[in-house]
Every structure is written in C-alpha cells, then in structure tokens.
Structure 1
C-alpha cells in the first residue's frame, strides 16, 4: 500500500512539472540576477561604486599581470645610470638574436634602417631627420642605454614599453648590439653553452613610463 501511494505521489509530481511547462512562455526563474546582470553605461554616474567612482579601482600596490618593475627614472640621471649599470639578463644565443631581428624589423628598422645605419625608410623619405648610426662614436650606446631608450623613448622616438614586453626588449637589445658590432667591423657576441648568464639586474620597484624627459644622446 505504501509503495502504491509513493508511486502515485511521484507520478503526480512529474505530471505537475510537465503541465506547468509552456513553450510560448518562459518558465519561472529563481534568483533571476544570476541570469541577467545589471548593465551599466561606461562613465555613467552610479551609486554602486564607492565614492562615486566610474569603476572599481585596483588594489593599492598591485601591478598588471606580466608587468615587471623598472627602477631607473625617466631622466638624464636615470639614463646615465641605466647606461652604466643595466645589463642584459638573457643569454646571447642565435635563437634570441633571431627573435630580436624579427622584432627589430617590426619596430625599429623603419627609422634606424635594416643595418642600424640610421637610413630607414622614413629617413630616406625625409619624414624623420637626424637618426644617427649605431656606430656613431659620440653615442657609445650600451645594453642599458638601448633598453632604457626603448622603455621611455628619447627625443622624437616614443616609448615601446606598451608594444613589447621585457623579454622582447632584451632580445632587441642583443640584435642592436649585433648591428653595432657589424658596423664597427667586429664579430657579434654569442654566448657559448654552459656559461652562466648574469641574473636580471632590474630592481624591485619602479613607476610606469611617464612623459619623455631624457635628452641624452
């Protein structure tokens, strides 16, 4: 008897569930906010954010994913310090050289030229003037100065910190040094296997790139 009652109850629940379904009208939604979120217009005024902010702000002290700190200021002193102290943490391998060449062709050759002689397409068309060659004796560029200029920009050259990540900038540094060596008649540096590569010298704290203030050559 009990089993018959139980079967009848189950059948009643199933029939009730099917009968409540109507294809022309949506079923009931429980917790509808889980289905449909509230839409906010960009830069609109809403009380949902604290202090009438336009959006939620990142936590104090947090940094974007993949962003590494850089402790040299965008100034003449910062440029000179980077030029003297900053070293490439990547090994000088053929693989990094090839990657650096590809990136150089994308970002640098249009002004600096494929050979680093300052005779890029924009220079030849006289769109930009005064781009020096990498073997210019008055420049004495180093690993650190190349990286610093790519990070902040200098004179008419803008920053490439947004277009390239840290690893890519150092690969470009290796290729620029290769071009400089070839212009000077030297063999480019290639590290042999098994040689310990100097650790990354980038300190732990920095500010994001600001307006270009460096004017060193």
Structure 2
C-alpha cells in the first residue's frame, strides 16, 4: 500500500472519530474561552446574602451619603423652581475661550439639531419637519414660561437643560453639571446675536 494512502486513511479515520465524539453530549457548548468574561464577578443584588444581618445583598446607603461625582440639584421641576434657579444660580465656570469652545461643541451635538447652529430655532430636525415651534435664542422669540429667550438668565437655561421643557427632553443624563454650564455659556453667547 502506498505511504500517502495510509496517511490519508489515518487522517480521515481520526477526523471521523473526532466528529463522532463531538456529537456525544448534545448539551455541551464545547470549549469555553475566557469564562470570566461572561460570569459576573460582582454579587447578584437580587439574591440573598448571608454576610449581612438582613440577608439581602442590596443594602440601603447610610444616611447623608452621596455617590462619587454626584452633584445635588436643589431646584424642583416646577415653575417656582425654574424662577428660583433664574434668580439664584450663577455660572461657576470662568468665561474663557476653552470653556466657550467646549460649550459650543456640546451645544452642536445636543442642542444644534433642534435649535440650530446659530441658535435661530432652525436646526436639522426642524428643517425636515420632525419638530416645530423650537424657539430662537435671539430676536423677539418668547419663552413658553414668559419673557424673551434672549433675556433668559444662566440659571433658567441650566434648569431647562437639567429638566427639559415642552418637546425638549432632559439632558441631565448626557451632560455633566460642568458640561451643562459650558453649554449655558455658549447659549448666552448666541443670545447676543
């Protein structure tokens, strides 16, 4: 028998045995690669835990504690909270080119699609008639809460970014407090046009 035929026959026999052995256990998913990538290391908060007196994994935080990076916002989402924010809140950031350009960047991403690049209320979504009635930051455009848009103080703008108003949703989850103040800075620049 030819040497090559013996090698081919042995290879096919080995492949046949390997394929039959892989079909033995229907429940097996085969080899596991990087098991720790899909088995969570953190505790399951919905399951009981004998390490705590109440037997629960999810524990209530101690009183008067706040998460790291959390900034408390004391103004309610009401007309009174809006007015109070307008009177009391002042932009804590320094008015410099770095903050202003950063505010422009965030404004372009989050506000520009509706309010427009120039703050004229003619953004992309308004042009394709997805939304209507988006106010302009300059001119004689009136705010739905009273007063002219060009006269809104920093606190009222911040409050609106925080909670949203009318068709505008809240941007509190997309922008940090510092980023919101930078957007306020850019909006105030647009108000001057």
> TM-score, normalised to structure 2's length?
0.67
User: Aligned partners of 2:63 and 2:125: how far apart in 1?
Assistant: 42
Unaligned runs of 5+ in 2: 1-39, 143-147
Give the CA deviation at 1:99: 0.6
> What is the match of residue 131 of structure 1?
134
Equivalent pair of 2:158/2:184 in contact (CA under 8 Å): yes
Give the CA deviation at 1:41: 4.3
The alignment status of 1:56 with 2:52, answered yes or no, reads no
> What is the match of residue 113 of structure 2?
110
Deviations 1:143-186 (A, max 9, x none): 1111011111112211111111111111110100111112xxxx
**Given the alignment, which residue of 127, 143, 150 partners 2:154?**
143
Equivalent pair of 2:103/2:182 in contact (CA under 8 Å): yes
Equivalent pair of 2:126/2:132 in contact (CA under 8 Å): yes
User: Aligned partners of 2:124 and 2:53: how far apart in 1?
Assistant: 51
> What is the match of residue 188 of structure 2?
177
User: Aligned partners of 2:41 and 2:180: how far apart in 1?
Assistant: 42
The correspondence of residues 144-159 of structure 1 with structure 2, limited to 5 A, is 144-159=155-170
Unaligned runs of 5+ in 1: 1-36, 183-217
Query: Size of the alignment, in residue pairs?
Result: 145
Give the CA deviation at 1:50: 5.0
> What is the match of residue 82 of structure 1?
85
Relative CO higher for 1 or 2, CA cutoff 8 Å, sep ≥ 6? 1
C-alpha change, 1:40 and 1:118, in structure 2 (3 Å) is same
User: Aligned partners of 1:170 and 1:118: how far apart in 2?
Assistant: 20
User: Aligned partners of 1:177 and 1:88: how far apart in 2?
Assistant: 11
User: Aligned partners of 1:150 and 1:43: how far apart in 2?
Assistant: 34
Deviations 1:52-102 (A, max 9, x none): 545233222211111222221111000011112211111211111101011
